[in-house]
Structure 1
Amino acid sequence: MVLSLLKMCAREVVSDHSSSQYWLSCVPRELYRALLEAAFTHCRPLAVGVLVQRWPERKLTVGGSRKAGECPPNRLCVQALLLAVIRGLTDKRCCLQMLDLSGLQCEDGRVEDSMGGWSLSVALCSMVLQARSAASRAHRRDGERERKRGLEAERDRGTIKRDRGKVGCGNSGEGSQGGHRVEEVEKMECRTNERMFPGDESVKGVRRRMEIQRRKTLSEGKSNTSSNNSRLCDQDWDEVVMVHVRADLFVNSRSWERVRDALSQPGPLRLHCRYLRVEELSAPSIASLLGLLPQQDLLGVDIRYSSLGVSGLAMLLPLLAPFPQLHSLRLHYCNLDLQRAQPGQQGALQDMSKGLSSLKRLKRLCLTALRLPGHLRLLLSSLSQPLEVLELPYLCLTSTDLAYLSCSQHAPFLRELDLSENWLDESSLPSLRRLLAQAESSLRQLSLCGCGLSDTLLGALLPSLSCCQALRSLRLALNPLSITGLLSLARTAAGIPSLRLLLYPNPLEEYEPGLPALPSSAQLLDWPLLEESEGRDMMLRLLDEVLKLRGQSRDLLVTSDLLNYSPDLTVDD
């Protein structure tokens, strides 16, 4: 990779933090972006801090979609950025008004010193609360300074009045005799006051007593006015937002209270959520969280490992309707087991269907392990527009469900389809072939992992797969195929010019003896492979020959590794 001259210079500039006080004073605003990218790339958190604290533009975007092989920002750099945002609130050189951190989190555990979604969400909420506390302290300090200045000004005005009074008495023209007369009059007034107000020894003279009473009344009025003004200022200050922060939030039972406080308390930073992912939360907690989110920003909701039940999900779905931009809904392992009939179950399903119909812009729907056999028509037919992404793994689909899906409004528009871990047999094969025929022009990703596809079933399905010329990803892991069936699959995959990833199953010949005739995906996953590598090397050579004959050996990744293939290969160009 050849670096441009700008990137090389930016790397040298941010490498020495001791010189930052010199180049920050003269660097033009057009170079701030290049310097910040260099600071992130080469892990210079101090440079990140000084750049963000005086960011010269209204918007700053960090994160977003990363290119293949590009590392996410270092944890220290992300923390320096968040601290600099707080410091920038009091820096007059900072023009930042919108901070976009969407996609900044890294969920790949193999990347060291990166920040995952949960850690980033906690750090963001802590930043919002710290900014609120810092602004509150600064506001109280400013109010105290204003109050002291007011008291000093009042004391100065009182001193000036007393001085003027003394000067006026000295210039009366009566000389010393006038002065003696004034003193005698004051003594007489004092004696009169002592007789009239024996308990008020500090007040000397009626005029003086009236003046003190008038000042007391005025000071009370001023204090009431200042307190009212202070309350108004506090109210206005609470509503002022200096920087809007947009990010993806990952919330679980440990971080729920902090996220709730950050979203509910007003302050100089306002948190906006693009994609919300929640884990291990009850339906009421998720409902209260949805009520705090700004409605114009939320694009997707991902609920995982939460025991919602049909009634809980039916309660949550209507709460998603007010979000006009919501186009993605994912439900993973939410305990919706409908294989056993329960009282009120059908009514709750009707409520779920009505809730889904209220999501007018829904394009992606994922229902993982909800166990809804025979209910697919009830759920999907209520949607007002066709889906583009449909993920139904571990759903216990029946042939009736597949028959509906192949004739539904969604079939011609599907770009991604996941039917993994749904057992397919000869009765469901015609519906699946009809479904592929409907989606052949739009389908980009297809996953049929663990569906029990034998050589015979796959052979009947391959003609339909060969017609899907737009496919970029084909996943068929954990299916009981032999080497012969695997080579047939490779020939078909090599004939799809757009295909970039083929995830194939280990052939049955590579497993140790003892497997059943038609093993399940769980058995294939747990059964040990043969330690000898000769058979595997021969199979890889045969695959390579098939791909070379088709001219696909360079652009197509063929792998059986379930964990280490790159999902970036499936992204559209």
Structure 2
Amino acid sequence: MVLSLVSLCAKEVVSDHSSSPRWLGSVPRELYAPLLEAAFSNCRPLAIGDLVQRWPERTLAVGKKRRPGQTPPNRLCVQALLLAVVRGLAERRCALQVLDLSGLQSEDECVEDSMGGWSLTVALCSMVLQAKLAAQKGARKDVERERKRSLENERNRGDSASKRDRGSGGLEVEMGIEAREEEEEEVEEEGKKREGGGEQAVMGVRRRMEMQKRNGAAVEQDGGGSSDCESNPNPVLVHICADLFVNARSWERVRGALTSKGPLSLHCRYLRVEELPAPSVAALLSLLPKQGLLGLDIRYSSLGVSGLALLLPLLAPFPHLRSLKLHYCNLDLHRLVPGQEGALKDMSQGLCGLKGLRELCLTALRLPGHLRLLLSSLSQPLEVLELPYLSLTPADLAYLSCSPHASSLRRLDLSENRLDESSLPSLRRLFSQASLSLSQLSLCGCGLSDGLLGALLPSLSCCRALRSLRLALNPLSLAGLLSLVRTAAGIPSLQLLQYPNALEEYEAGLPPVPSSAQLLDWPLSEEVELRDAILFQLEELVRQSGRARDLMLTSDLFNFTKDLVEVE
């Protein structure tokens, strides 16, 4: 990527922090954004702090504009950003009102010195709570300062009154009894006038002491404790929008930050929950603003059918909820449980209330034969449907191919669902319905042999919007693999093909029709020449088709670039 002149200059400016006092006071507001981007790209936390603390715009979005292939921000840079936001609360030149950190966290644990979702969530909640404590401390200082100012004013007025008293006593000796009486009358009349105007009058030592005692007690009652500061918090100065990652360790801190009434207000865009029971998830949902939540991801939580039936109705009040992901939530309908059918109907009714849902991901829920019950209750067609490890039956696939969702699907994942000849008609019809919209398809570990895949390839070749095709862990021979690559090269939109290793590449002893688990665990042959020869044949097919530059082939299950897949 070629950097613009502005980007190159910004990189040079933020590289030397000792020069920041010279340019911070005169830099135009339109250059703050490229300077901040350069500071993040080149890991300059001090420059980030200086820029954010004086941010001239009302809104700052960090994380959404990350380009494909760009690494996530360094941990130190993120910490400098959060610290600068708190310091900017007292900076008059800072105009920041909305801070959007959605997408800032790194989901790739291999990226060094990056901040994951859990760490970022804890840091955000700590920042919100610390800002509240700082505001309360500042309010108490203001009250104490005002109390001292009042006492000082009373003391000054008392000294003036004492001087007048002493002065009047001297005049009494010189002027005689008549002059003393006239002076007392004047002082008394002046005191009455001041009291009538609402001011504090001073008439003699006893009167002054009584007023000081009464005023001191009133000030102490108003500002002596912290309860009034806490019951009247400062107004919200900055609204923070972020993706939150909550588990048992961060639950209490997240709850404290969401209920905090201070200068920083935390709003959740995407909520990811792990290993929390259904009541805790329900309590967390009750704390979230109804307008902000876009997605909910629940993982490794023992919810069961009853837990999902409890949670799904609670999602209906969130009008902008577009994504619902349920991964490994201990839901297995292979086992008959009393009251299960009623809970399933409650789940269906709960999904019916999600009017804006466009993405549904159900992983390892074991719902054979119940796909119609769930999906038919949705009021709008889905764009993303992921159903791995769901034990789908031919009846489920038949419903899906004829459902309103088929023609609107952009991403479909049917991995680890065993497919056979009885599923072929439904799959052909499904691919035909989705041919104009489907851009990502995953059929990993579905038991597709040479014959089954060969019967599906004509339907796949008609998917003219397909950009990513994943077929790892399927038992294909070299002949079937060559046929797959030849078909993939003929799909103009396809950019990524994840193919399985040919059966000829494995060590001897592999079963004739191995499962995906056996293909995953079985060792590959130590003959490097054999694997290189197979790879050469595949790449030669791609070169002959003229797709060597824009079609990526990989057999790696994990370490391949996902930029082509994620960018829509």
Give the SS at the match of 1:160: helix
Question: 1:570 maps to what in 2?
Answer: 565
- Whether 2:544 is the aligned partner of 1:544: answer no
Give the deviation of 1:219 after TM superposition. Answer: 5.4
Give the deviation of 1:254 after TM superposition. Answer: 1.0
CA distance in 2, matches of 1:208, 1:531: 105
Question: 1:428 maps to what in 2?
Answer: 423
Give the SS at the match of 2:412: strand
Question: 1:93 maps to what in 2?
Answer: 93
Please tell me the residue identity of whatever aligns with 2:78. V
Question: 1:201 maps to what in 2?
Answer: none
Report which stretch shifted further, 21-30 or 312-321: 21-30
- Whether 2:358 is the aligned partner of 1:359: answer no
**Residues 63 and 215 of structure 1: is their aligned pair in 2 closer, same or farther, counting only changes over 3 Å?**
closer
List alignment gaps of at least 5 residues for structure 2.
185-202
In the superposition, the TM-score normalised over structure 1's length comes to: 0.91
Q: Is the Cα–Cα contact under 8 Å of residues 65 and 103 in structure 1 kept in the other structure?
A: no
Mapping for residues 256-295 of structure 1, pairs under 5 Å: 256-295=251-290
**Residues 284 and 230 of structure 1: is their aligned pair in 2 closer, same or farther, counting only changes over 3 Å?**
closer
CA distance in 1, matches of 2:540, 2:343: 55
Please tell me the residue identity of whatever aligns with 1:546. L
Please tell me the residue identity of whatever aligns with 1:317. L
Question: 2:330 maps to what in 1?
Answer: 335
Question: 2:292 maps to what in 1?
Answer: 297
Aligned partner (choices 297, 315, 318) of residue 320 of structure 1: 315
CA distance in 2, matches of 1:207, 1:96: 54
Please tell me the residue identity of whatever aligns with 1:97. Q
Give the deviation of 1:52 after TM superposition. Answer: 1.0
Give the deviation of 1:228 after TM superposition. Answer: 11
Give the SS at the match of 1:108: coil
For each residue in 1:202-258, what CA deviation from the matched residue of structure 2 results, as whole angstroms up to 9, or x when unmatched?
A: xxxx9976775566556555655x3599976654434x1011111111111111111
Report which stretch shifted further, 432-441 or 545-554: 545-554
Question: 2:125 maps to what in 1?
Answer: 125
Give the deviation of 1:550 after TM superposition. Answer: 2.3
Please tell me the residue identity of whatever aligns with 1:296. Q
Give the SS at the match of 1:271: strand
**Residues 255 and 231 of structure 1: is their aligned pair in 2 closer, same or farther, counting only changes over 3 Å?**
closer
Question: 1:175 maps to what in 2?
Answer: 174
CA distance in 2, matches of 1:120, 1:359: 29
Give the SS at the match of 1:175: helix
For each residue in 1:379-410, what CA deviation from the matched residue of structure 2 results, as whole angstroms up to 9, or x when unmatched?
A: 11110111110000000000111111111111
Q: Is the Cα–Cα contact under 8 Å of residues 53 and 85 in structure 2 kept in the other structure?
A: yes
Question: 2:197 maps to what in 1?
Answer: none
For each residue in 1:312-333, what CA deviation from the matched residue of structure 2 results, as whole angstroms up to 9, or x when unmatched?
A: 1110111111111100000000
Give the SS at the match of 1:366: strand
Please tell me the residue identity of whatever aligns with 2:174. G
Question: 1:155 maps to what in 2?
Answer: 155
Aligned partner (choices 456, 471, 476) of residue 461 of structure 1: 456
**Residues 529 and 223 of structure 1: is their aligned pair in 2 closer, same or farther, counting only changes over 3 Å?**
closer
CA distance in 2, matches of 1:520, 1:230: 66
Seq. identity, %: 68
Report which stretch shifted further, 53-62 or 159-168: 159-168
- Whether 2:111 is the aligned partner of 1:78: answer no
Question: 1:46 maps to what in 2?
Answer: 46
Give the SS at the match of 1:404: helix
Give the deviation of 1:180 after TM superposition. Answer: 13
For each residue in 1:487-511, what CA deviation from the matched residue of structure 2 results, as whole angstroms up to 9, or x when unmatched?
A: 1111111111000011110010101
- Whether 2:252 is the aligned partner of 1:237: answer no
Question: 1:396 maps to what in 2?
Answer: 391
CA distance in 1, matches of 2:213, 2:207: 10
CA distance in 1, matches of 2:179, 2:384: 103
Question: 2:342 maps to what in 1?
Answer: 347
**Structure 1 segments (4+ residues) deviating >4 Å:** 179-182, 206-224, 227-234
Q: Is the Cα–Cα contact under 8 Å of residues 424 and 453 in structure 1 kept in the other structure?
A: yes
CA distance in 2, matches of 1:398, 1:215: 86
**Aligned pairs, number:** 548
CA distance in 1, matches of 2:70, 2:157: 68
Give the deviation of 1:71 after TM superposition. Answer: 1.5
**Residues 499 and 67 of structure 1: is their aligned pair in 2 closer, same or farther, counting only changes over 3 Å?**
same
Q: Is the Cα–Cα contact under 8 Å of residues 439 and 468 in structure 2 kept in the other structure?
A: yes
Give the SS at the match of 2:57: coil
Question: 1:368 maps to what in 2?
Answer: 363
CA distance in 1, matches of 2:211, 2:133: 40
Q: Is the Cα–Cα contact under 8 Å of residues 105 and 117 in structure 1 kept in the other structure?
A: yes
Please tell me the residue identity of whatever aligns with 2:430. L
Give the SS at the match of 1:249: strand
Question: 1:64 maps to what in 2?
Answer: 64
For each residue in 1:333-378, what CA deviation from the matched residue of structure 2 results, as whole angstroms up to 9, or x when unmatched?
A: 0000110111010011011111110100000000000001011111
Give the SS at the match of 1:37: helix
CA distance in 2, matches of 1:230, 1:280: 37
Give the SS at the match of 2:366: coil
**Residues 10 and 214 of structure 1: is their aligned pair in 2 closer, same or farther, counting only changes over 3 Å?**
closer
Question: 2:12 maps to what in 1?
Answer: 12
Report which stretch shifted further, 138-147 or 22-31: 22-31
RMSD between aligned residues: 2.3
Report which stretch shifted further, 20-29 or 378-387: 20-29
Give the SS at the match of 1:428: helix
Please tell me the residue identity of whatever aligns with 1:237. P
- Whether 2:440 is the aligned partner of 1:448: answer no
Question: 2:187 maps to what in 1?
Answer: none
CA distance in 2, matches of 1:14, 1:477: 45
Give the deviation of 1:290 after TM superposition. Answer: 0.9
CA distance in 2, matches of 1:395, 1:505: 22
Question: 1:190 maps to what in 2?
Answer: none
Give the SS at the match of 1:277: strand
- Whether 2:514 is the aligned partner of 1:508: answer no
Give the SS at the match of 1:237: coil
**Residues 272 and 175 of structure 1: is their aligned pair in 2 closer, same or farther, counting only changes over 3 Å?**
same
CA distance in 1, matches of 2:467, 2:219: 74
